[in-house]
Structures are given as C-alpha cells and as structure tokens.
Amino acid sequence: MNATKTTFFTILFLCICLGSIAQNQNAPTELTVNLLSSPGRVLLNGYPVNLDVQEATLRKEQFRFTEISTRRPVFGWLIPEGTNNMLQTAYRILVADSKQKLQTGNGNLWDSGKVFSSHSANIPYNGKPLKPGAVVYWKVKVWDNHGRESSYSNMSQFKTADTLSDYATDRYPIQKQDEYPWQITNLNREGYFADFGKAAFGRVRINLFSDYGTDTVVIHLGEAARDGRVDRNPGGTIRYSRYTLVPEKGSNTYIVTIPADARNTGPQAILVPEYIGEVTPFRYLEIENYKHPLQEKDIVRETAFYPFNDAESYFHSSDTILNQVWEICKYSIKATSFLGVYVDGDRERIPYEADALINQLSHYCVAREYNMARYTHEYLIHKPTWPTEWILQSVLMAWEDYLYTGDSRSLAYFYDDLKAKTLSGLADKQGFISTRTGKMTPKLLQSIHFNGKLRDIVDWPHTGILGLEKEEDGETDGFVFTDINTVVNAFHYRAITLMAQIADILGKSDDHAMYLKQAVRLKQVFNEELFDKKRGYYIDGIGTSHASLHANMFPLAFGLVEDENMESVLDFIRSRGMACSVYGAQFLLDAVYGAHDAAYGLQLLTSTGERSWYNMIRSGSTITMEAWDNKYKPNQDWNHAWGAAPANIIPRKLMGIEPLEPGFRKIRIRPQPGSLQFAEVKHPTVRGDVSVKFTNDPGKSFQLEVHIPANTTADIYIPFFSRRQDVEINNQSAQYKRKGDFSVIENIGSGKWVFTVER
C-alpha cells in the first residue's frame, strides 16, 4: 500500500472514531424510571454498595433498593448539549429481560421503534406485561432537529415489585453517610467537645478505650452549645440528650442507641426504618469523664437522609447575608428528609400540608427529585390535618407536581379527591366558603378523608397557646376571625382556579367550565365584599373592619387583586413588615415578587432583624427553625423545613426560573435583582440544569447569562429602561416586547446565551 492510500485510510479511520466519540457524547443521560434516576442503586444498612440490582437479589444480605411498582412505568432522559436550539425529534426505546439481550440490541420486552416525538420525559411503557419481582434493562437513543442520530444511552436497570399496580409513587430507600467532627476540643482532661459544623439527624458511632472496663463515660448530644459545652437546657423542643456507656476493657467501637420518643413515634408519626435505627438531630457531641486520646475519626455521626446530590444546585451572589440564607435553607431540605416524607420537625414527625407545600417547592429547586414530594402529597390526601386552608393546599401541591414534572398520572388518579379538597361544598350562594355556617357535614368530611372538624388557621401559632400568653401576639397580625374569612376564601379561589386547569388537562370539559365560572364569580364578590375602597386594602372578613398583613398578602399571591388596587395593597403590605410566621413568609414573598417589588423582596430576604432568616443563623441553628425566634413560639424546634422558603424563592422569584409549560417544556427566566449587583444560580429540572447569572448596575445596565437545557425553549425577561435602550443577544441587536417593567425576548432555544440591556 502506498503512502497516499495509507494516509487516506488513516484519516478515514480517525473520522469514524471521532464520529463514534461524538455519537457517544450525544447519547441520552440521566435515565429515569417513574421519575427516579437511580432505581438501580443498592444499599446495605443504609450505605451504598458496589452491586447492581441483579447481583443483590441473588445474595442473602438485607440489601435495599427501589422497586418499581407500576405495571406501566414511565421513562425519561436528559439530552446532552450539542449546539444551540437543540430539540429532540424522535426516540427509540429498547427494554429487555436480560443484560445480554439488550447489549445485542434485542428489546424482547419492548422495542418502541422510531417514535417521532419531542417528549423526553413521562414516556409510558408499552411492551409485554412486566413480571413481578423481575430485573428489567433498558436504553434509549434519540434524533434531533439538526439531523443527528445519537448512539444508545448506557444501560439502566430496575427491579419490579412483587405486586404491581396501575398507579403508585415509588421512592428511594433512606441512605446513611458517615460524617466526622469539624473540630474536637480537649476539655482540660475532663473529656472532649466535638462540633460537626451542622446539625443532622443521625446517631453516633465511637471508638473508646478502657484500662479496666469499670469507668463510666457520659455522652451528651445537642443542637445548641453554651460556653464551649453542649447546652443541657436549650429550651423549647431544641434537642438535648444524655447517654451513659461503660466501655469494656481495651479498645472497642460503640453505637450510641437512641431511645424512642413517645411523641414523635406515636400513631400519627412517620417512623424511622428499622435498617436505619432511631435518630436524633444534633450538631454537638460532648464526652464527659474520658481521659484517653481521641482522634477525629474516633467519632462518627451516622447521618440519615433521603438521597441528595449537593452538586445539583448552586447559588452565589454579591450579598453575603443572602448567600448564608440560601445555604441554611438548601441544607434544611436535605437534613429534614431523613424519613422519606416531609414532616413538621422532630417534635412530632407528622406530615402537614402547609409544611409539605414549602418543602415541595424548595426540594424542586435544590435537587432533581420529585417523588418524595409526590408521595407526601398523596399521603396527605388520605391523612389530612385540621386547618381549613391546609386542606385546600392539597390542590396547590397537585398542581405544582404537574407543573414541575409534566406527569399527569397523579392528577388523574386522585382527581375526585382533589375536587373534594376544593371545599366547594362549603360555598354559599355568593361562592364564599365557611366552616361556621352549618355546611361542614359528615358527608363533606368523609369526602376529604377527615375524621374531625375543620378550623380556620390563617397562620400559626395563635395568641394564647403553645406557651404564648394572652397579652403576647401570635403570628396572625391580629387577624379577626369571622364566618367569611378573607384568607380561607383566597385559598379557595386559588384551588378552584387550579382545578379548572386540572380538569382541562384531563379532558373534563364540564368541570373545567364549572370551576372557571366559580372562580370568576368568587373574584368579583371577593373584591366587592372584602376590599375596603376608602383605605385601599382588604379586611379580614365580613363583619370586621380590621385589616391584617395576611388578609392582603394571600389575595395578592393568588391573583385576586385588581390592577388598579395593586399599589395600595402593596403599600399596606410593606407597612406591616414581616408580621407573619416563617410559614406565612412563603406567601408574602410570592406576593411581593409576583407584584414585581424586587426591592422589598430583597429587603425581606436579607433582613438582619429579629424576624429574619439571618436571625436563625445568629441564634446558632444550622437548619431552619420553626419560628423566627423562641419568643414567637416557645415550644419551637430547630429543624423545621417550613422555614426554608428562600430555597425556592431565590431560584423561582429573585432569579426568576419557573416552568411556563408543564415539565419545563417552556421556561420563563425573569430575574428581579433589585439592588443586587451580581448573582448566579443552577436550578435542576426534569429536562436538565438551568443556569442563570446576572451583573446589575441598577437603572443603567444589566447583563444576563443563561444556559437553557436541550429540548426546551424560554422566554427571557430583562429590565426595561427606556425606549432608547440597546438590547443585544450574544452581541447582536435583538428584538423585544415591552411587558411592564420588562423587555421580553420570546422563544429562545437551548444553549448558552448572553443578553445585555443598556440605557
């Protein structure tokens, strides 16, 4: 072979290899089954092991892994970036009952063939019936709008449950991680004080040495410290516990076992799985009466949590307080996930709708995880709690689940329950609902699966309970309860508005029309009867002239305020400050940012006052607290994720990343920086990561850098300065539409883009 031919074949070979590499790089990744990306992860006693599911089923140890429990699971994947404006045009899925068959391209359970579709999530299985208790293998390839065909993805596997159903929500097992102290201090030969840096739910494993086997060692665990020791009397439900050990002679490893708490292991509580063992929240550990040398790795905290990838989300800004607020709120979502269900904190460990909605939104923004939220929401449908508004929040949770996942299965399965949760059965002729006018019948209570009586809550706690004396204010801003309650009816309006959309999605046209009609009528009478035109804001209810923060922030958050009244309602809201609980703060910030008052939103998020997230940090907690301070709820705990609203408010509202179409098929990116000079965020979605970064010179210039995942489009909002402003995309002049204070560039495709506007 001459040199010319050799060169030709060498180049041809390289092209083939490079083409193959390019194809592999463009293969789908992050394959999901029933929205779970790692159903093949195997755990032993809570710790990940290096086995796949097939191997684990053949061994005798008590391995744990997710079991897919539906007859027709749904598949999904992420599409890696190639070029800008990348959309999927088709896919092909292969499913097999053995690894060997799938490796040879034999989808003996299901070969979808080439399906022309842009859907990359929630693709229902449509092959041969899956066998219970079997391991299943699958992979997928895609075609894109640039004419490229990818290679097949890496193989994914899952095991089906022993019993299969038409619908269920699958979850991961709880995981453990060993953590070592951040710092250990020798207490003058009396013992040691260890600081793990952050509180977490777990237990202690410790190496101890004894000369004779007769000495007694005391272990103190706690969430709070005082004067370099574990605080023995921290107050409220802030956790402290004491344990004694009598080490055997020589060197041994001990697990400090946590006794069951009568309250948080009661009939309504969610129990810790047996393979994890009972846990308690603590940051600090003190060893008393121990004089032998102690090394860092002699003390281990076995931390329990629902699987969580810290790298999936990120936020940093030019404001150091805002950064700290983000960190405590993000960490709170991970730290309080130890039961695989959202609970109210360690005191009760009971799911509540109010906690669950805030947990849900925050979890979506810090991790690519949807099943824990869905499971909790569905649990609460059949085990609801007593507040009227919290029953209504089930509809809100159902909607957010659909909006973030694009998966309508839960809506369809629980549709009749969601209709009941609107509480339309409590409505009078005008459309107002009330629990105090004789309409709370046994039939209605049965329809919402509640055995008791509903009671309006507004916010929590109320005056005169839970350690608050009658002269001490609760968290309701003096709200006056009447038969027709403004806050309750604002929630009802939001619920029926969403039910109209849910009915439309599910093709229930009569219900869609009915709920739209109810919503239009309620909005009209709401503003006629509850809005004080002379003062320019809402009263607490019919029969009182009192006006509270809550009676105004909820209507504003839920779209009840007419445009001409927006500014007067905002003025009143600003005049009240943070006159609500950490739970109410979710809706206050939703209302403020929804009205585009970025300056006040940033002021609330970065406040250093007593009623602020910074005060939680200053008080010493590393997980968000149940209340702003002990004085506002004397029995509060220090591990309550309903205080973590900024974990979703910062990505959703300040950075402006929200789904415009279900499952992030279309995204709105509408940052509201206020005076913030710089910020960047990474927000995981069901279609991939959305990244946003801005540099802001208020009133003069604004630069926005975004990364939009493949198979999506976005509407981009940047400030509107004046008609003579210059707007550019990637250094090229751009066309935009003005919407209020924003310049809007519509239908931007996937990839990396830089938008600038200058006055």
pLDDT of residue 657: 98
d(CA 581, CA 626): 9
pLDDT of residue 605: 98
Find the farthest-apart pair of alpha carbons in the chain and give their distance in angstroms, rounded: 100
Give how far the C-alpha of residue 564 lies from the chain's centroid of Cα atoms, to the nearest Å.
34
Q: What is the pLDDT of residues 333-369, one digit of tens each?
A: 999 999 999 999 999 999 999 999 999 999 999 999 9
d(CA 159, CA 145): 34
Q: pTM of whole model > 0.85? A: yes
**3-state secondary structure (DSSP) of residue 49:** coil
The pLDDT confidence band at residue 82, using thresholds 50, 70 and 90, is confident
- Ranges in the chain annotated CATH 2.60.420.10: 666-758
Note whether 596 and 672 are within 8 A (CB): yes
- For the four alpha carbons of 9, 11, 12 and 16, in that order, the dihedral sign comes to positive
Tokens of 305: 């949590």
The reply to whether CATH 1.10.3720.10 applies to domain 384-576 is no
Note whether 452 and 445 are within 8 A (CB): yes
Q: What is the pLDDT of residues 264-276, one digit of tens each?
A: 999 999 999 999 9
Tokens of 172: 């991961």
d(CA 569, CA 125): 50
Q: What is the mean pLDDT of the chain?
A: 95
Looking only at the bridges linking them, the beta strands covering 67-70 and 156-165 are parallel
What's 662's DSSP letter? Answer: G
Omega cis (within 30) before 461: yes
The pLDDT confidence band at residue 10, using thresholds 50, 70 and 90, is very low
Does residue 167 register a pLDDT over 50?
yes
Say how many C-beta atoms besides its own lie within 10 A of residue 8's C-beta: 12
User: Whose structure tokens read 């981009």?
Assistant: 716
Task: Put residue 208 in one of left, alpha, beta given phi > 0 → left and psi -120 to 50 → alpha.
Answer: beta
% of the chain beyond a pLDDT of 90: 93
- Ranges in the chain annotated CATH 1.50.10.10: 384-576
What does the pLDDT average to over 614-637? 96
Q: What is the pLDDT of residues 699-756, one digit of tens each?
A: 999 999 999 999 999 999 999 999 999 999 999 999 999 999 999 999 999 999 999 9
d(CA 483, CA 468): 25
pLDDT of residue 131: 98
d(CA 284, CA 95): 49
Does residue 571 register a pLDDT over 90?
yes
- Ranges in the chain annotated CATH 2.60.40.10: 3-165
Note whether 143 and 151 are within 8 A (CB): no
Looking only at the bridges linking them, the beta strands covering 175-179 and 299-305 are antiparallel
- Ranges in the chain annotated CATH 2.60.120.260: 175-305
Q: What is the pLDDT of residues 409-459, one digit of tens each?
A: 999 999 999 999 999 999 999 999 999 999 999 999 999 999 999 999 999
What does the pLDDT average to over 93-107? 97
Q: What angle do CA 23, 24, 26 make, to 5 degrees?
A: 65
pLDDT of residue 518: 98
Does residue 585 register a pLDDT over 80?
yes
Burial state string for 422-432 with b = 16 or more CB within 10 A and e = fewer than 16:
bbbbbbeeebb
Does residue 9 register a pLDDT over 50?
no
Q: Classify 175-305 by CATH class.
A: mainly beta
The pLDDT confidence band at residue 472, using thresholds 50, 70 and 90, is low
Candidates 3.40.30.10, 2.60.120.10, 2.40.10.10, 2.60.420.10; CATH matching 666-758: 2.60.420.10
pLDDT of residue 7: 46
Note whether 181 and 255 are within 8 A (CB): no
Q: What is the pLDDT of residues 180-209, one digit of tens each?
A: 999 999 998 789 999 999 999 999 999 999
Does residue 470 register a pLDDT over 60?
no
Q: What angle do CA 349, 354, 358 make, to 5 degrees?
A: 95
pLDDT of residue 467: 55
> What separation in angstroms does the CA of 731 have from each of 116, 728, 734?
35, 5, 9
pLDDT of residue 83: 84
Q: What is the pLDDT of residues 292-349, one digit of tens each?
A: 999 889 999 999 999 999 999 999 999 999 999 999 999 999 999 999 999 999 999 9
d(CA 224, CA 440): 44
Candidates 3.40.50.2000, 2.60.40.420, 2.60.40.10, 3.30.365.10; CATH matching 3-165: 2.60.40.10
The pLDDT confidence band at residue 534, using thresholds 50, 70 and 90, is very high
**3-state secondary structure (DSSP) of residue 654:** helix
The mean-pLDDT minimum among 18-22, 490-494, 539-543, 697-701 falls in 18-22
Note whether 52 and 95 are within 8 A (CB): no
The pLDDT confidence band at residue 603, using thresholds 50, 70 and 90, is very high
Does residue 94 register a pLDDT over 80?
yes
